[in-house]
């Protein structure tokens, strides 16, 4: 009898425990679901909380679908890759984040980070921005790059895409401010191409553009562009917001 009573007692206690736990779970069900929803939202926003560093390069795609952006994408895009049309340099000052950039028509400017993001196209509500960071062996170039870039603030946009004037387009600014110990750019120049990848001919936009400048299209001249710079061996893509 004692043995039977003990087992029955255990069954009663177990049943009571289950009922209590079920009652508690019913009361906590909404808070738990709410907590899970908050956690899911937080996990979904982890990308947005990536910690930028001074000297990071923000490669982006412009929001406005202008002729210039289309022409740049046609000339620099590659299949299955984001065709970046712009790049700027992160500068953190007293916990405020800015982007040093050369943009048309303003020229070389210092833009608050939130304004930079606002100008960027999105994919599934995420900004089409990738973060490039110079590799460790080039880390010593960052401080000088910020100083050099700020020296160029106020200079005009380089519509001629020439390395021989004192104006800058976006990736040209980056190329000429990141300098090694001998004062040479760590980003090697590439032969510029203004040809549409699909047609193999110079895009009509560029023909008209350089005619208005009374210049020939500088096909093959040294330069750079954001799409190729994003693949440079001196940097690593450390984050994508999209």
pLDDT score of 1: 38
Same domain, 25 and 101: no
Per the document, the length of the chain is: 242
DSSP 228: H
pLDDT at 96: 97
Spatial distance between the Cα atoms of 172 and 153, rounded to a whole number of angstroms? 14
Statement to judge: residues 19 and 127 lie in one domain: no
Kindly write down the DSSP assignment for every residue of 212-228, as one continuous string: HTT----TT-EE--HHH
86 with 149, same domain?
yes
Task: Identify the pLDDT of residue 139.
Answer: 98
Looking at the structure, tell me whether residues 92 and 38 fall in a common domain.
no
Q: How many domains does the chain have?
A: 2
Cα(230)–Cα(77) distance, rounded to whole angstroms? 12
Q: Are both 18 and 90 inside the same structural domain? A: no
State phi, psi for 228 to the nearest 5 degrees: -75, -35
Give the position of tokens 């032969």.
191
**Where do we find the tokens 């004192």?**
166
Q: Are residues 83 and 157 in the same domain?
A: yes
- Each residue's pLDDT tens digit in the chain (242 positions)? 333 333 434 343 444 444 445 444 455 454 554 544 444 454 444 445 789 999 999 999 988 756 655 665 565 555 447 789 999 999 999 999 999 999 999 999 999 999 999 999 888 888 999 999 999 999 999 999 999 999 999 999 999 999 999 999 999 999 999 999 999 999 999 999 999 878 899 989 999 999 999 999 999 999 999 999 999 999 999 999 98
Task: Please tell me the predicted confidence (pLDDT) of residue 16.
Answer: 42
pLDDT of residue 82: 79
Whether residues 211 and 112 fall in one domain = yes
Tell whether 29 and 65 lie within a shared domain. no
Angle between helices 170-177 and 142-151 (to 10 degrees): 130
Cα 72 to Cα 83: distance, rounded to the nearest angstrom:
9
192 and 215 assigned to the same domain: yes
The answer to whether the beta carbons of residues 233 and 138 sit under 8 Å apart is no
Query: For residue 40, what pLDDT is reported?
Result: 45
Domain match, 56 and 26 both: no
Residues 64 and 148 both lie in one domain: yes
Largest CA distance in the chain: 110
Containing structural domain, residue 12: 1-44
pTM equals 0.76
Identify the residue whose tokens are 């908050």: 38
Beta bridge partners of 88: 58
- Whether residue 195 contacts residue 52, with contact meaning beta carbons closer than 8 Å, is answered with no
- Domain C-terminal end among 9, 24, 44: 44
User: Where residue 156 sits, what CATH number does that domain have?
Assistant: 3.90.1720.10
How many distinct helices (H) and strands (E) make up the chain?
7, 10
Regarding whether 57 and 9 lie in a shared domain, the answer is no
């Amino acid at each position: 009898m004692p043995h039977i009573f003990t087992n029955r007692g255990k069954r009663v206690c177990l049943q009571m425990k289950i009922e209590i736990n079920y009652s508690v779970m019913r009361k906590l069900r909404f808070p738990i679901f709410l907590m899970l929803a908050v956690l899911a939202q937080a996990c979904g926003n982890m990308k947005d909380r990536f910690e930028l560093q001074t000297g990071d390069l923000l490669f982006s795609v412009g929001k406005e679908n202008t002729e210039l952006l289309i022409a740049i994408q046609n000339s620099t895009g590659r299949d299955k890759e984001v065709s970046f049309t712009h790049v700027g340099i992160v500068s953190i000052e007293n916990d405020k984040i800015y982007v040093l950039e050369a943009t048309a028509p303003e020229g070389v400017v210092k833009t608050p980070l939130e304004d930079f993001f606002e100008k960027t196209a999105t994919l599934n509500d995420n900004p089409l921005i990738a973060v490039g960071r110079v590799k460790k062996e080039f880390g010593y170039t960052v401080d000088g790059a910020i100083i050099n870039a700020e020296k160029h603030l106020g200079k005009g946009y380089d519509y001629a895409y020439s390395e021989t004037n004192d104006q800058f387009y976006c990736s040209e600014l980056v190329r000429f401010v990141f300098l090694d110990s001998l004062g040479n750019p760590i980003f090697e120049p590439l032969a510029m191409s203004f040809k549409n990848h699909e047609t193999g001919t110079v895009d009509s936009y560029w023909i008209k553009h350089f005619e208005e400048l009374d210049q020939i299209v500088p096909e093959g001249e040294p330069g750079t562009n954001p799409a190729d710079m994003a693949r440079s061996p001196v940097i690593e893509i450390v984050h994508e917001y999209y």
